[in-house]
Structure 1
Amino acid sequence: MLLGDDHDWRGPAVVFDVELLWQVRLQATMDPESIFWAVFVFMWLVYLWETYLSYRQRELYRTVIKIPQNLAGVMDQETFEKARLYNLDKSNFGFYVGIWGEIEHSLILIYGGIPFLWNVAGDMMQNYGYDSSYQIIQSVLFLTLAVVFSTITSMPFTVYSTFVIEERHGFNKQTPGFFAKDQVKKFFVSLAIGMPITALLIYIIQMGGDYFFIYVWVFLLVVSLLMITIYADYIAPLFDKFTPLPEGDLRSKIEELAKSSKRSSHSNAYFYGFFKNKRIVLFDTLLEDYSPLNADGEKKEGETDPAPAEKAPTDSDDKPSDDKPKGHKKQGCNNEEILAVLSHELGHWKLGHIVKNLVISQVLYSAFGFDSRPTIIGLIIIFQYVFSPYNEVLSFCVTMLSRMFEFQADAFAKQLRHAAPLKTALIKLNKDNLGFPVNDWLFSTWHFSHPPLLERLKALDKSE
């Protein structure tokens, strides 16, 4: 009986001590300051990792000054040197942009820039008779102020990149006037699209109850599908001039190649649309001779009006031809090479890459200086900071998946008997964009969503 009493007495005491210990540990773990500094340190670790990767690649730009033997058939020494200097300039500039951005971001977090901007939005709202219960209005004002701030702080770097680096290497075609107009349009278009989406998203979260995440997922899916459908018809024309592709051999072959299509994400051509609203878009810089597409677009006498199935965007406010930089002459692609590029894009659609990417993409307040719990700030904190470790891993997995999709699309083009022209098209596009063909394996693995040129050429060379 005594043993029984001793056992009964000691048991609860031990349990109590364990519970107390766990409470202390949990309290220490959930301390807002600890959370903040854990996120802060991880943010800098990611920056240092990215900087290390960039350093590895920059060393190749700096030291590999002779074209390697295995690239002799891909690029000449003159183009290789131009590509080396261009990418070295961009990498050096990127280092300074990166360190400034990280310091700026750190100061915003340490000195409470996010809650300060939220309070400024609240003060602005109250000046018009709205109190803090109108969280959606305050959120829209907050995002507007955030966009204004980021636009102002990033503008000097954007100007330098455009009018110094890109100009030096023969890529800039913009006048200061066109650049200013383009930036203003981007600012207001981003607000016009972002504000209603943000307002509806916050409303759905507030009204969705325990299953709000299901409604949010459906809403974002609908928005994504809508943007895919309307982008090239209503948004892209605000920035580029689109003209129907003239009748001729290329148009006929494209119509034979693509009887149906959807949008993909390549920078030289893309498919978009659903059902009967389908389009193929070719960038004029893809074409070997695209001077007719830079004309006024007025229909000449006797010329038939082509169907709007293919369009080619051009800058509607480019410099006059004598003002264009002459440092780098682009080659463009012939008709067979263009068809090969489109076969690659068609492969993305046929293999379901667009839908797969769409599905993948769908799939803590006090620590950051907030007494209340505004929904928009919660989303920012969770997805930008708390989920940052998961985001890094997910981003790497998406990059690997994208590389696999590119190989599959190349293989699809090969099945359509376009392997040879696709190879020459890839080489020309690499030259036109001054892509440096020597890549550090770790930098390439972490950053390149498209496989390096030599890997794609090697894969296309393999037998069926």
Structure 2
Amino acid sequence: MTEATYQTPTKPKAAAAAMAPKFGDDPNSAVDAQAALVMRKGFLDDVIDGIQMGLIAIVLISLILVAVFSDSLPVLYPALKPLYAFIGSIPSMLTRLPEYVLMIKDNLPTTTDEALLLMKESCHQFDQLLNSLPYKECVLVFSWAIYLWEAKLDIRQRDRLHEVRRPATIASFIPRQAYLEANAYGLDKSSLSLVKNAFTQIQTTVIILYDLTPWLWYAVVDAVEDFTGYGPEYEITHSIVYFIAVTLISTALSLPFDLYSTFIVEKKHGFNKQTIGLYVTDMIKTLLLTAFLGGPIVAAFLWVIIKTGSQFYFYAWALMAAVQLLAIVIYPTFIQPLFNKFDPLPEGELRNEIEALASRLNFPLKKLYVVDGSKRSGHSNAYVFGFLKSKRIVIYDTLINQCSTEEIVAIVGHELGHWKKNHILRMLTAVQIQTFVIFYAFSRFVGERRMYTSFGMDTMPVLVGLIFFQYLYQPLDSLLSFATNVLSRAHEFDADAFSKKLGFSKPLASALVKLQIENKGIMNPDPLYSAYHYSHPPLVERLNAINDPDVAPKTE
């Protein structure tokens, strides 16, 4: 069906019946109503605009004050004297930058002994830095810097979601109604995310400023000692109880947002299929699994650290690597069936086509399941799991309802591309490298008493030290997560190319479009937002790669 070209609506309501089509086939169409909803900026958008204008005004006023009263500011506000000194030193630092570069170049080690000496001196200086670091202040700065950066990305994405014009690159295959519905869904999720993130940031700031982490730790220690007689020497026992307490508190604080997301946002846009009873049952199961599985893992982790001393990072990494590999095995086999029903895919064309594809690729297919994803959500998925010669393919029933047999087989071809190209092993390796870096860095901080005292602790429990370290680690964690997303996006392009070479170019492209529409995925994301957050490339980029003539259309 041919769609009307977008035109700017005229204002007089009396001429509504006579004016040209705006977004749909007539002035009062459902498309027009959806477009008006998407364009409308509500209270939250006004708050965002007000905050941005306020920040701009503060920056301008600050610059004027510095320019006019630069000599008097240290006297008027002596507490900010270090900040003024730093700002004042920036010009000289910039002019001396070539000198610094030459100095570094002249002092670069030329022999192995010099390199080892430089490394030893650097480690010594780093240890001295740890002894003098203002930990609480650093945590607050890191936390707010990352929050403001991500909030800015969220606002950029929100501005994209308010657009009603489809980009020319997708206008030919994405109906206007579907584009607007996806943006409306994205706006509702964006509103909830902005409020939740602001609440979480304020919550984190309050916890840090008022030393609530140590307060909870000592409350747990006192309670355990009162009820069991286990004193401070039973750190592992206290840590397990503390872990459970933190889990319960975190669940309670996030519950209102999760309920709103599930029963308001998801239901409004036709995705939620859960009842309150099922939701509560799932939450209880999750909490019980967290306690019964998480408790022993925490105990083993702490025992390894306590027993292996300063070299614990290697043993702790080995333990967590084993836990992660075990989780990959037991989660789909023992844990996920607690929440979903897995049935063998019925005999028929779809099963025959998938089995033929698996045989063609020598994929060791042991089981082919369909899972009742529609029990909870209208979203769809398919995945491959298993080790060595025991592989399983799982297809959501929602995917079967949304796509044709050929399209589903093309999606399975994409998933088998991940297996064929060893993407799962590569991602596991990347995760293990990241985990090792975390534990090594943690080993340098865990014994620093100043880190604990700056947060109001007079003891040094390892689990609490890990919580403090996670705050410090946030900037590096963001960079590593971004790097992981870059690798994941490269794998998605590679798997698409694999499916295309199998001869599924057209059905894969049509399946991606169909799933984007069915799942109301964002059609035109902000480039910076998607680069930072998305583990999968945007739809247009994937379609462009699939249509790339440099990729062979088919290989037998």
TM-score by length of 1: 0.81
Q: Which residue of 2 aligns with 1:406?
A: 492
> 1:215 and 1:261, CA in 2 relative to 1: closer, same or farther beyond 3 A?
farther
Query: Is 2:264 the partner of 1:193?
Result: no
Matched, 1:260 2:260: no
- 1:381 maps to 468
The CA deviation at 1:27 is 7.4
C-alpha distance in 1 between matches for 2:422 and 2:129: 48
- Give the drift of 1:69: 2.7
Match of 1:422 in 2: 508
| Mapping for residues 312-461 of structure 1, pairs under 5 Å | 332-363=402-433, 364-382=451-469, 384-461=470-547
Equivalence for 1:88:
187
Task: Choose from 249, 260, 264 the match for 1:164.
Answer: 264
Q: 1:282 aligns with which of 395, 399, 405?
A: 395
Distance 1:222 1:29, change over 3 A: closer
Q: Which residue of 1 aligns with 2:349?
A: 249
Q: Give me the whole-angstrom Cα distance separating, in 2, the residues matched to 1:337 and 1:53.
A: 34
Residues 335 and 374 from structure 1, CA distance in 2 versus in 1: closer, same or farther, beyond 3 angstroms? same
Cα distance change, pair 286–443 in 1 and its aligned pair in 2 (3 A): same
Aligned residues: 394
CA distance in 1, matches of 2:335, 2:125: 55
How much has 1:24 moved relative to structure 2? 13
Contact 1:287/1:333, CA 8 A, preserved across alignment: yes
Matched-pair contact (CA < 8 Å) for 1:262–1:274: no
Q: Which among 206, 213, 228 is matched to residue 107 of structure 1?
A: 206
Give me the whole-angstrom Cα distance separating, in 1, the residues matched to 2:515 and 2:423.
22
Displacement of 1:404 in angstroms is 0.7
Q: Deviations over 1:161-186 (max 9, x none)?
A: 11111111111111111111111111
Q: Which structure is higher in RCO with an 8 Å CA cutoff and minimum separation 6?
A: 1
The amino acid of 2:477's aligned partner reads N
Q: Is the 8 A contact 1:365 1:372 kept in 2?
A: yes
Structure-2-length-normalised TM-score: 0.68
| CA apart distance, 1:155 | 0.6
How far, CA to CA, are the matches of 1:411 and 1:86 in structure 2?
30
| TM-fit CA distance, 1:341 | 0.8
User: What letter matches 1:275 in structure 2?
Assistant: L
1:386 CA drift (Å): 2.2
CA displacement at 1:261 relative to structure 2: 6.3
Q: Secondary structure at the match of 1:280?
A: strand
Query: Residue 146 of structure 1: which of 224, 246, 266 is its match?
Result: 246
- Between stretches 266-275 and 68-77, larger displacement belongs to 266-275
Give the match's secondary structure for 2:454: helix
Aligned counterparts of 2:229 and 2:314: Cα–Cα separation in 1: 34
* 1-structure distance, mates of 2:277, 2:209: 38
**How far apart are residue 267 of structure 1 and its match?**
6.6
Q: How far 1:428 moved relative to its partner?
A: 0.9
Q: Return the alpha-carbon distance in structure 1 between the equivalents of residues 325 and 125 of structure 2.
A: 48
1:173-322 matches, within 5 Å, as 173-258=273-358, 259-260=363-364, 268-288=381-401
In structure 1, distance between residues paired with 2:460 and 2:243: 16
Q: What root-mean-square deviation, in Å, do the aligned CA atoms of Structure 1 and Structure 2 show?
A: 2.2
Name the CA shift for 1:25/1:284 in 2 (closer, same or farther; >3 Å).
closer
Question: 1:86·1:169 contact (CA, 8 Å) conserved in 2?
Answer: yes
Q: Tell me, which stretches of 5 or more residues in structure 1 are unaligned?
A: 1-22, 289-331
Distance 2:142 2:494 in 1: 35
Residue type of the alignment partner of 1:380:
I
Deviation at 1:276, TM superposition (A): 4.1
Residues 262, 271 of structure 1: 8 Å contact kept: no
Q: 1:4-15 residue pairs with structure 2 within 5 A?
A: none
Asked whether the 8 Å contact 2:410–2:507 carries over to 1, the reply is yes
Aligned to 2:222: 123
Determine helix, strand or coil for the equivalent of 2:228. coil
Identity %: 41
Q: CA deviation at 1:262?
A: 11
- TM superposition shift of 1:380: 2.1
The Cα offsets for residues 276-314 of structure 1, whole Å up to 9 and x where unpaired, read as 4321111111113xxxxxxxxxxxxxxxxxxxxxxxxxx
Q: Equivalent residue of 1:81, what SS?
A: helix
Which residue number corresponds to residue 448 of structure 2?
Answer: none
- Name the aligned partner's letter for residue 485 of structure 2: T
Q: Residues of 1 paired with 2:292 and 2:332: CA distance?
A: 16
- The aligned residue for residue 303 of structure 1 is none
* Structure-2 change in CA distance of 1:276 and 1:112 (3 Å): same
